[in-house]
Amino acid sequence: MSKKVNIIVTQPPYGKEDAYSAIPLAETQAAAGNSPSITFVSGGVHSVVKGQKTSYGDAAVWQKDVPSIEATITKAKDSVKFYALDTDLKKRGVADSEMIEGISKLNIDDLTNRILESEVTLVF
């Protein structure tokens, strides 16, 4: 029986590994036959901005082939549904034209319903 797995990412994509950790977790849930989704809220909405460079932190690390959060999201879009909270996008000045294609916006009522409808909700 397929379960709805709702993953909420609250942290920004750089300086922490939460967004990067959430995506493979969601992909494994899809591979197991579940229906995963990731919702970016608070500082996590910065993960949905397209065209970001990954040159944050130690230069020796970033000289390696480290995929961007955009590449990671784009790769997972076939098996994972991605959302961003509209009020947090607005608060942080993220315009629709700046968002990675395929990310859906939702409001707080939609997020509440997704949480209530899911069998599992994880917060990163």
Question: What is the rounded average pLDDT for all residues in the chain?
Answer: 89
Residue 88 and residue 45 in contact, taking contact as beta carbons nearer than 8 Å: yes
> In b/e form, how buried is each residue of 34-59, taking b as 16+ CB within 10 angstroms?
bbbbbbbbebbbbbbbeebebeeeee
CATH class held by domain 4-123: alpha beta
Q: Which residues of the chain have pLDDT under 50?
A: none
**Residue 16 confidence (pLDDT):** 73
pLDDT in tens, 79-90: 999 999 999 999
Q: Please name which of 43, 42, 39, 51 lies closest in space to residue 98, comparing C-alpha atoms.
A: 51
